[in-house]
Amino acid sequence: MRISKTSWAAALSLAAILGVGLRFYLTPERALRNAAEDRRSLALETLGAYLAQRHAGDRILVVGNPFVQRPGQPGEIKAFEKAAVRGLRRGVAGRLEVAGIAYPALAPKAAANPAAVSLPPNATTPLSFMTAPDAWDRLRREHPAANLWVSLIGLPVGVARMAVWKEPVPRFALFLPDLRILGGTAAVRAAFRSGKLVAMVLNRPGAPPQSAAPVGDARAEFNRRFLLVTPENCEAALRQYPGLF
């Protein structure tokens, strides 16, 4: 089933594609945007700290939002990506090398008009449906030394058929992915068991609204808003939150 291309749906899709909530385009308060950037930075810092403990010495490639490179985009998309990368660098603290940021090529239709791309209902990572069919495998050929990819934009549709997923490396760490792309709970479990998926940050079910002020220190704030799911705690997370993925 596909969503209709009403102007409202297009606006929602475009806001999601650009990596920020629609509310940040409709609400002028800079404080809200700052808080959202801080949360993203915190989430990636926590992810980075875990990766530094478990994968010290690996070479990280950040897979970023290709719209960042396009002229005329709202400044918020660059600010959000910078916040994520800044947090990741703090988390790895020099124990892993962040080799750089790479951007998968967009499919022609998405490049021409992202709001015109039909998306499944409740798609949480619209860019999963917008990159060119060979874009991710091309990144692998361009960055052969990067054995750990941290994706800020989820995974592409059809990833299980791609060389980048079939080969032992790179391994993946994901930020707020749409896990339906992998095929559901069994596929996620298999990805963890195989070592292809090493960690992911998900929104915690029942988390406070985005407008809620931070409470406590950084760790407490992360724990009330996010879940860091790893091979070690995957099954416990599913027991606590059935249907999490």
Q: Per-residue pLDDT for the chain (245 aa), expressed as one digit of tens each?
A: 333 333 333 444 455 454 444 444 444 566 777 888 999 999 999 999 999 999 999 999 999 999 999 888 878 899 999 999 999 999 999 899 999 999 999 999 999 999 999 999 888 899 999 999 999 999 999 999 999 999 999 999 999 999 999 999 999 999 999 999 999 899 999 999 999 999 999 999 999 988 888 877 899 999 999 999 999 999 999 999 999 99
> Measured between alpha carbons, how far is 72 from 62 in angstroms, rounded to an integer?
23
The answer to whether 227 touches 202, Cβ cutoff 8 Å, is yes
Of 36, 77, 91, 76, which is closest to residue 219 (Cα–Cα)?
91
* Helices (H), ranges, the chain: 7-17, 23-26, 30-54, 75-92, 108-112, 135-142, 163-166, 185-194, 218-225, 234-240
| Domains (range + CATH), the chain | 7-240 (3.40.50.2300)
For the stretch 69-103, pLDDT in tens is 988 887 889 999 999 999 999 999 989 999 999 99
> Measured between alpha carbons, how far is 229 from 198 in angstroms, rounded to an integer?
9
> Measured between alpha carbons, how far is 233 from 236 in angstroms, rounded to an integer?
5
Q: Which residues contact 154 (CB under 8 A, 6 or more apart)?
A: 124, 125, 127, 128, 174, 176, 177, 178, 181
SS3 content of the chain, % helix, strand, coil (to 5): 50, 15, 40
